[in-house]
Amino acid sequence: MSREIYQEPLVSRYTSRKMQELFSEKNRFTTWRRCWIALAEAQFELGLTDIISQEMIDEMKANQFNIDYDLAAAKEKEIRHDVMAHVFEFGKKCPKAEGIIHLGATSQFVVCNTDLIIQKDAFSLIRSSLLHVIKNLASFCEKYKDLPTLGFTHYQPAQPTTVGKRNTLYIQDLIMDLSFIDFFLGQIKARGAKGTVGTQATFIELFKGDNDTVRKMDELVSKKLGFSQAFAVTGQTYTRKLDMKMAETLSGIGASAHKFAVDLRLLSNLKVQEEPFEKNQTGSSAMAYKRNPMRCERMTGLARKLMGLPQDFAATYSNQWFERTLDDSAIRRMDIPQAFLLTDAILKLYINITSDMVVYPMQIDKLLKAELPFMSTEKILMEAVKKGKSRQEMHEVIKDHSIISGKMIKEYGQENDLLERLAQDDRIPFTLDELNHLIGNYKQFTGRATAQTAEYLEEVVYPLLKANEAGMGVVDASLSV
């Protein structure tokens, strides 16, 4: 790696080798050649045997991966056209087939079909990583399904939940993301062989006006490229609306990850739950005691970048005048790889973090007990009504004492004395012992959290993971830095 020029951090620091390879020049240009081979094969099989021979096709196949990148780059610099530079270079490797490479096609035949192939493969990697995160979180939820923890609304203490139940919320979001991926994959079709502005005029000429054969060629090329269907109509390109939906799908994963990462950063501050912290890891260059949630912070930053990309794709799609304008080219070269690389980097972190999160039950217990008197006020209210008291009167009494107790905690650092205050008020029909007995253990305030977690795992998550075992594969979630 050169130290003298800028290196893309997504490649040098954050992403997997597999995703990097998908968006490499090697994969892109060899896939261009795959498209040219598929086109020549389809044309030959459908009757252009007076122009194309099996020998030409065999020559092209033999040289699909034999690329002189320097020659192609030099030619592109000369003619200012990347596709024609590679047509030229491929022709040099295939002298017998030189005259029929790219026959009847436009540049977007290889560019669009290749983009679609790469996106389909990239989504397969993303889908696999997403399933691994879900699996990690499911194990975590199972382990902590009945460990009570303080709930928060508005980031203020609320009724207890359980650690496992809270994490089912993250799983549910990711399963939604998974369903959006599957929906999007159902929308991906080949651009096929549509010609310069999508009318297939050149192919009609090649096949002497035979509409049915040209239509068969379009279908055959698409199947050879691994698609079950081709877009029924296109301009010069497949609709950039598809790119827009691709970006929205990936951005949704970024938003789910961002939500999780920020929550874990907040929990880390409370010292109740943390991301993994390695033996020799340094949290701060100045403050040696610190255990900064750096992986979650990195995930937050990467997700922020990913969540901002859809507006680029929307602007590109909406500015494609008529059959096509070229302002889509430069931005897509950057934004499509970035969208997938960012998602890959985020999920790599997400897998790493969820594989070994740390929970501190004693600190959780401490926070719960500090808030328990406040959490019990609704139960005290209901029990007072059962003893014949007015709900409205009891609500005012409990509210007044709660405000005073909260003030003493915040302004003077005192312990929570709400129960003592209530016991000393003659309007409250309970002694301190009765109040302590009444509120009992905070576990009673978690409702169906444990049952909900168990039900969700058994009825939704585990069946999903079982159905997708074959698609999970092996994911490398180790971090380079």
In DSSP notation, 336-363 reads: HHHHHHHHHHHHHHHHHHHTS-EE-HHH
* Mean pLDDT, residues 282-288: 48
Residues 423, 398 contacting (CB under 8 angstroms) = no
Flag whether pLDDT at 337 surpasses 60.
Answer: yes
Q: What is d(CA 192, CA 190) in angstroms, rounded to the nearest whole number?
A: 5
Segment (H or E) for 274: strand 273-274
Q: In terms of C-beta density within 10 A (0-12 exposed, 13-18 middle, 19 or more buried), how is residue 31 classed?
A: buried
| pLDDT at 436 (0 to 100) | 87
In our burial notation (b when 16+ CB lie closer than 10 A, e otherwise), range 324-356 reads beeebeeebeebbbbbbbbbbbbbbbbbbbbee
Q: What is d(CA 74, CA 64) in angstroms, rounded to the nearest whole number?
A: 20
| CATH code, residues 13-100 | 1.10.275.10
The CATH 1.10.275.10 portion of the chain extends over 13-100
Point out the residues that are catalytic. 154, 284
- C-beta pairs of 76-79 under 8 Å, 24+ apart in sequence: none
Residues 267-284 pLDDT 10s: 999 999 999 976 555 554
Residues 84-136 pLDDT 10s: 999 999 999 999 999 999 999 999 999 999 999 999 999 999 999 999 999 99
Q: Which of 174, 479, 167 is nearest to 352 (CA)?
A: 479
**Per the structure block, which two tokens stand in for 200?**
């297939």
Min mean pLDDT across 55-64, 261-270, 436-445 is at 436-445
* Mean pLDDT, residues 164-181: 98
Flag whether pLDDT at 291 surpasses 90.
Answer: no
Length of the chain: 481
**DSSP bridge partners of 274:** 358
| CATH code, residues 107-363 | 1.20.200.10
* Mean pLDDT, residues 167-175: 98
Q: In terms of C-beta density within 10 A (0-12 exposed, 13-18 middle, 19 or more buried), how is residue 462 classed?
A: middle
Residue with tokens 């950063």: 265
| pLDDT at 285 (0 to 100) | 44
Q: What is the DSSP letter of 460?
A: I
**Per the structure block, which two tokens stand in for 140?**
């975590």
Q: What is d(CA 41, CA 57) in angstroms, rounded to the nearest whole number?
A: 7
Flag whether pLDDT at 202 surpasses 60.
Answer: yes
Strands 273-274 and 148-153: unpaired
| pLDDT at 278 (0 to 100) | 66
Q: What is d(CA 91, CA 66) in angstroms, rounded to the nearest whole number?
A: 11
Q: What is d(CA 98, CA 112) in angstroms, rounded to the nearest whole number?
A: 22
The CATH 1.20.200.10 portion of the chain extends over 107-363
Residues 378-420 pLDDT 10s: 889 999 999 999 999 999 999 999 999 999 999 999 999 999 9
The CATH 1.10.40.30 portion of the chain extends over 364-446
pLDDT class of 287 with cuts at 50, 70, 90: very low
Q: What is d(CA 253, CA 306) in angstroms, rounded to the nearest whole number?
A: 9
- pTM for the whole thing? 0.92
Reduce the DSSP state of residue 225 to 3 states and report it: coil
CATH T-level fold of 364-446: Ribonucleotide Reductase Protein R1; domain 1 (1.10.40)
Report the mean per-residue pLDDT for the chain. Answer: 93
> Residues near 42 by Cβ (< 8 Å), separated by ≥ 6?
193, 217, 220, 221, 224
* Mean pLDDT, residues 31-42: 98
Residues 361-376 pLDDT 10s: 999 999 998 888 888 8
Q: What is d(CA 364, CA 343) in angstroms, rounded to the nearest whole number?
A: 32
Q: Which of 36, 46, 322, 35 is nearest to 211 (CA)?
A: 46
Q: Where are the alpha helices (DSSP H) in 150-285?
A: 163-187, 201-206, 211-224, 241-270
| pLDDT at 476 (0 to 100) | 76
Residues 59-92 pLDDT 10s: 999 999 999 999 999 999 999 999 999 999 999 9
| pLDDT at 390 (0 to 100) | 95
> Residues near 271 by Cβ (< 8 Å), separated by ≥ 6?
360, 363
Flag whether pLDDT at 289 surpasses 50.
Answer: no
Q: What is d(CA 69, CA 105) in angstroms, rounded to the nearest whole number?
A: 22
Residues 375, 445 contacting (CB under 8 angstroms) = yes
